[in-house]
Structure 1
Amino acid sequence: MSTTNEPQTAAIVPSYAIRLEFNAGAEGWELPILPGKLSIRRSGAGKSYSIIGAGNISTIEKPELAEIDFESFFPVNPWPFNKQAISKTPAEYVADINRWMKSGYPLRFIYGGSGEAGRRGAIRLPMTITSFERWEEAGSPGDVYYSLKLKEYVYYAPIKIRVAGTGGKMVAEPAKRVDLRVPPKTYKVVKGDTLIRISMKLYDGDSSRWREIQKLNGLSDADLKRMQIGQLLKVPPPKE
């Protein structure tokens, strides 16, 4: 038995989280309850051929797109075993997913642990939502249970071809990086407008979103008193 007085260091258990981000990270949150099972699938895409004199052969091609699915729930109240932050109500989580699904833009799925090693080994994939189902269960009033299925999204853009020199050689121009930020909608200021009135006009009487409009346009409190008729303001999308 050791008689030394050396300090004992407890093992550090990494904390894992799943995060969904949208609009180049402008929106997003961690799942408040981690799923009991996370399925990640990526199938091969090789093909088989029969060659006279050689028999059957197979080719190696690029693998299929990754698919991820899991089930969990959005709690209406904090759970004792849960260490994740609950930043929204179940209805708000559901509204975000529905809005992202209808937007026509991908989200980013991030799964990783704490610390430098956890961040290096994180899974970070652009994904589209292929299925989102939700339900309630007896004994858990207010909690929203759900299943989410995602499919990998591949960035693509048209390739421009130009003629180089006098020899008529066709050269493909380097593809520009795809901008996946959702273009903001705009509103033109009219006489008598304030940000609170604009918020009420655009969001069914909800005046609370004026701060979002202010932040989106980079307006100071002093700027709010100098808004001009005809001024174009960026406005966030409605919450569904």
Structure 2
Amino acid sequence: MALLDIVSYSQQTSGATSNNNLLAYSISGGRGSNQDDEEYNLPLGYRFSPRGNELITHYLIKKISGQQLPANIIREIDLYAFDPHQLPISEFKYGKPDEAYFFTRPGKRRRTSSGYWKPTGRDLPILSGKAIVGFKRILIFYEGKAPRGIKTPWVVHEFRVNPLYFSAIRRNKLDEDVNAKVTRVESYIVCKIRYKRQRQSDKCGTSSKTQKANQSAAESPLKETV
């Protein structure tokens, strides 16, 4: 699969380009390749930004199954063993700013040296057509000890495969029993981590509301009580 198939085109272009070099990619990812030596030269406007179902079907399932990946740019790391600022997010050069993708092993322990990851809400189903291919869980990093930690802008989206879907697509694998399939599907999850910066418009809006509230309070006459 070409890299063009697994990235989202985030910049609208007008007309066809005559520069064929813009579509020249260095594709050498997959099993047996040296991930650190790989370089993917994307034209301006292209970012690695797959949808949830694409991330699960084209990357996570292939990682779990030991198949060749479309592009070998998602590193495997023990994500929850580190504080967010310790993760090599800046080394992920193909996505949006302050955002990176990692494969990691699932686990219940999400405490780090300076805080903890807290799930928000319930798990969300990820659909591909009518099939539920997986689930997404959103977690926010809090500094300090639970339950009185301080909320930070760090957010993780955890994606995991639906075991029923995985069993269905591998039903012809006669060498695998049910337990082996369940064990395999639970071996990895893929995470999108990002630092959610406050937008300038939000800052201006908050500041404006505060100023109006202060002005209103200053102009309101105080009622005298006898």
- Normalised to the residue count of structure 2, the TM-score between the two structures is 0.22
Query: Taking structure 1 as the reference length, what is the TM-score of the superposition?
Result: 0.21
Larger fraction in strand:
1
